[in-house]
Amino acid sequence: MNIFGHELKRSLRSTLIWGLIIGGTIMLCVFLFPELKKELGDMVDAMSDLGGFGAAFGMDRLNYGDITGFYGIYAGSMLGIGGIFYAAILGTGLLAKEEKDHTADFLLTHPVTRTSVFWQKAAAMAVQILLMNLAVILLAWISIRWIGESPDWEGLCLFHLAQVLMQLEIGGICLGISAFLRRGSISTGIGVAAFLYFLGLLGNITEKAEAVKYITPYAYADAAKILPECALDGTLILLGLCYGGAGILAGWLWYRRKDIR
């Protein structure tokens, strides 16, 4: 039974909607940049001196009057929040929805093992995350080319790569959680994503919370840390992928012997 293809087909519409909403919002902001750039003037220095609020969103490290910095601030917020919520909702619902919709018994009566069901759904999740990001990147690229700006493309590519990795980590953790849920709860996934997001903001605001960078994926996916140096933190990425992988592994081990009703 081709569960992988079925999951992709069933979720294609929602994947494209998420991509269009996030990408469309970023596109709108990029279209506003030329006019904002004319009016910014001394406001650039003022926005970089907003204290804790500015630090939380990287305004102290990114140039608001430059398309690369502007994109990092706005796309970093919109894709950062929207992307992890999408990954969390997707991951949390993959397994639990079969019990919630009372389709688990029908699914498992087919000649397919639980291991196959689990890993096909995990693969479908990864592909859906990639498709959503491709839609966002395409719309962002069109908008930047449309206004005639020349950003640091290498830096933006690294930023989007980090966003994909962050979403895969969140999706993996929430997929593991999904295996333990009886009926499924989107709020659980959103809660996990929101908790990690605010941990990331906390880590940006104060050095006393520097240790949170080893917990939250925002530590390696933050545009304010990627774009100035045009580099990724390989150690934190590896740690994040281990978290996501551990979530998937725990979910698989539990799902194999779970009493499905």
Q: Using CA of residue 23, residue 29, residue 34, residue 40, what is the dihedral sign?
A: negative
Q: Could you give the angle at the alpha carbon of 29 between the alpha carbons of 13 and 138, nearest 5°?
A: 45
Tokens of 123: 């693969």
Total domains in the fold of the chain: 1
Region 111-117 average pLDDT: 79
Is the pLDDT at 17 greater than 70, yes or no? yes
Task: For residue 94, name the pLDDT band (cuts at 50, 70, 90).
Answer: confident
Residue 85 confidence (pLDDT) above 90: yes
pLDDT digits (tens, 9 = 90+) for 48-71: 555 444 454 555 667 777 898 889
Which of these, 155, 159, 183, lies nearest to 77 by C-alpha position?
159
Q: For 133-186, how does the pLDDT look when each residue is reduced to its tens digit (9 = 90+)?
A: 999 999 999 999 999 988 999 999 999 999 999 999 999 999 998 888 776 578
Q: 147 — phi, psi (to 5°)? A: -85, -5
Largest separation between any pair of C-alpha atoms in the chain: 67
Type of residue found at 193 = A
Domain that holds residue 163: 3-257
